[in-house]
Structure 1
């Protein structure tokens, strides 16, 4: 029989097991029916590896010492025992959720609610301590919430395990206590654990309820333990300035390193939380912002003066020291995300903190709006960064304490810890990546040029322009060497694949490496890691002082998702890698979605589909398939015959649209720094023809319903993105309809031909607007709170746009003056999006939409984390140090 069958049989006379509720580090939890008392219970079965080394009889004896605890905030022990080799204990089944579930959902709790929960848990701890029982594993997972009241679970279980196993507990690989909430004495394996250890753990839980994160975080248990032992936690008011002074002081005292400096009891902690006049003599934190000053000196008798000695103490206590210098194994973890905090693929940028412990990215909040989130890699729930609404392109400072990001046409910075206001650094347009150096200088790409600016703010200084004579069109995605004196960037080319270039900030000398890539990073000061055109990640030995490659490239992994210009990858200086899977262009599918969000994949083979458009009769789609970077070819898909047909063949084309009669397809021509408009017969019976050559890139166009005129949008380095109007028979005589330093884009013309909708950042963020075609006119706002990718219904009575992951519909009445109603969300989903162009279209019936979805995206975007690869022999392409 299988283990579950054995367990069910062994307990059949006492409990009827209904289903598994979950698994933890020590036990698997089942929902069961207590047959004798006719009640539902939580039956916890210890892991087999624990049962193998525990003395079962002694465990049962030890756990019974907690059975006498009767308190309204303590979950009592109903039963315990052994059955067919299984060790188990039984507690009431509580309808509700754990505090961990609540924190995962809400991140931060209201101050009154957090204090109430902590006070009631402290009351339970005080009762248990007075009865000689110390919990040893207070954490959000062990605090159940029933009708808003906390109930502490697993009281005395850790003690029972330790007492029963004696010195053999390390054989199981289990550590008592959870790293984030361990007291320093637990972390260093002190022989005596007192009630003040539980006070510390409760202080850590309260800290997280108030701030959204535990006092100490790190990429591994080792890092967390080191911080608990050697570092002070930032005052909770630096993360949330609204925390009352007495609460902040109580938290600070509960988190003192020395047990003697903490509250003498859990009751004393509860009293301090209830006393508005309470102060703590050693509490010095109060104002938001980065902490500066002299750190406190720790004087534990068992902690050495140096951090290195402390590390040895911690490592020895936890069994992490090994006699042989064997490198840790390479690990790869897939990070998944719930609806809140789900990454937005269209922003195309993720960032790792310098120590590799934090991942920053643009995600969607509960209402589908964009903002920056941080995923601490040892936690499941992402944390929203305050005042980053609409933000993208996050960049960590060299010390990991600050985060820069782009929003509303500005580059901003904010404390990673939160609590303060975001500060403006400078205005930016056409931002294509950046890096924050150790000298507090930020190097970034704007309009295809490289600039630098002080993180304190100021005017950007031009560093380098693309070398047009060498065929360079843009310099993007800069990275810095560890000393901040050298810059790496990607030089996009009109003559081939993009190349990695390097520049010395001392003399501004620029050189181009013999490497083609989309993004590059420097690791450990001696290797260059880069993503190539195909989405493979390579490493090559690199001298950051001479800015030279010193060996041969070696592939690390394949399948990194690429974006329009770059890739969805981040590499920390430590060597940690985060990336979104997908490869060049990414395997995508075409999907038909109705107004309720019900989706049906079309039978077209997966490809790098882009910008689908329904034919006027709705029977065909014209679509781009990306083949090289932003370039590709134009194809049609016959919805009835389920047949794919190719219309262009030189991989220089994108953004197709139909002629009003459905007989021709117009498209953008990407000719290096120049652009143009092409046309081809929709049945493929003739060769494509060039209609217009233009000195700058043309990215999109749309014909009026009568086919007599056209709107198109180009990129102009002087005025950002401009919208032009022209007669269809004389495109070269086009005139600017909308031309300004603002960012106007994503054109869609109304079915009556009188109005067009577009996206502009005139308000500081992206919103959808209406204007009249071919004449100066008023501007009418359509969205409020963010909007991109507008598309008309064929009826002209609705306009659709996207905000975050959601599609919205707006009722519109077309007349001399347009009437615009309130936007209404239709559905959300993980569909490809773009801040520049519409990545979907509306079917002629107005009730269906063709969307593009990455394969597997219906389950949510996944970010892969790879660690320890650099520690393997010859990882950097050369011998190890």
Structure 2
């Protein structure tokens, strides 16, 4: 903050600064004299550097919108500007105090005073909402009391503090105050006036009880045990509170906007309603979600065609590493090869190498810990750009081919390719985060992001990662995924005029693509159910043909300049499952690709998946069980390929997610003794499912392009939506707590523990460590509990830990910001580090399962007919 003297000097001639009135979380407030109008005013100077003309323009635009509000319960805005390098705005100076000061002095208000103030605030909100203005930060600090009436201050300020709309609705930035924040605002989702109604319900609750209902802004679920606790608290502290007031507050605190009052005027009417007319209103109905299946017709393509590749010609090796070489790229003249020495064919640890073809020695160009992907040569062949994923999210870096220091080339950019552009600045094609959930779109611009425009915009849960322009510059092949899986490749027009259509093998996972030099063929690296192989399809309407086959897999593809061959990374991978116990480390599986192990509560059985198929999901496999004493193994629930699963504590049942023929992922439940057929529990497009308390199942599923957590009885009844959430990792043994991974679209996610009955979550980590590479298969959840609830297992950063829990607790005592490093996890009382990285927790800290993954790949040139 600049000094008092600097501010006074900057505003001289307009305002005479007299003294400081107070400080808040974002501003310092000064009493000043308006020299032109000879009146006392409050000058609020933002105590943060917003920097840049674009941000300042947005601030003044939003302030201008709010300044047009004229209502007796809204504090007017007189002026705004920039002084001493800070943005400021001017309001009337009101004699009186804030509601916060009143509450700090009295703690609770009289019933009539509280309801009267809430009605006046509702009037102000209703008026502002009808003008299209949302407050976003309703709290006692922003409500002034003047002559006994409520005056709402700071309309438009929260909105003005965002650089653009994506910062308000995207992942990673939450504006507002957590104690009064609606669930959608706390998740950085889109908000409307119903978010302000939530804040007002929090304020009224605090006026009556003396403290807000939540310390983080996550709602108490109506009709749940948490809601009954809210009722008891209200009526225990204020026995005279009418039932219709309790019902109004409960509805205002509903976690889903559609279950709240839809307008602030409705909230006011609920407060003023005749209690007799409201009999039974406290019980709110949460609409059950009817899981109507959406059938997606898939064209049945002939599989009888012979592979188009020259299977009798010998592949030419271009690298010969004992490790793995992936992500090949050719220089424009075809004389140099760039690649990543590392396991992952998507992103992962590794270093950029370059070699002269055919027999030059590989030269290492990078030496750092960044996760890397997709190297490409510049137009003149002098530089190599490559994507990275680090603390600042997706970026593109560049390094000279002849060696030198790598440097940042373009922020918020990944999968970059050079597409020419004539004599002017070079044009590039790349993927960037939009700020909405994990959404990534394909855009084109110059190297400096000039002439920026969108080529393809996927759904909010879609991520378009790689893109390739056709030789005639009219079409683009692109690679995309969603929460569940890589999707088929897509063909879109370069002018962005339509979303295009899927191409390549149908219902496949496509991870890379290329054009033949004449533009007549499209090539794909895709898994159509038998592993990743190279396919091709004649442009634009040909039938997909498989080019390579066999026990190896081929990922990544780069065409030669003459179109007579392509290069790709060819190799194998195997995953075996091991168990650590009192006898040490023991290998349990030796065949197939084992993954997702889980140990029974008594430590006698190991459940796991064996990879198979897999074209509808990152994870797909058959369920097996191994007896850890005898070594006998058995396939369970045949004819189903599962994406996730959870075994009941008694070992009799399994609940699992499995893709169906419509590409949806419903939830099934089955007995493990095979005496009854598996039964579809819900048709929702699900991601994870776990057994909860009693006969409940808790699951995460997508609805209208949003992710939510639901619960349902094991007989399929009482389906209820609980809360919005990005990713469900687990449920505590008593079924009362949920572990949720909040995706940010960056290299780090946030992990929260939520009570099923509603209420504020516990933050475990706000910026956890980056997830492991996809290449090593599905990793353990960041959070899980021992079956007896005595330990919580935390794998938040580099190492896993087992932390003892006090009886009745689901998490250890933590600070509000959670755990920020492995050192802080290790410092928790009784914490024990598990010596095996990425261990799947067992019934106690001395027993766990883990996988050993063997990957070996090299780069080959494959001739074409």
Instruction: Identify the TM-score tier after normalising by the shorter chain.
Output: 0.3 to 0.5
**TM score, norm. by length of structure 2:** 0.47
Greater relative contact order (Cα 8 A, min sep 6): structure 1 or 2? 2
**TM score, norm. by length of structure 1:** 0.46
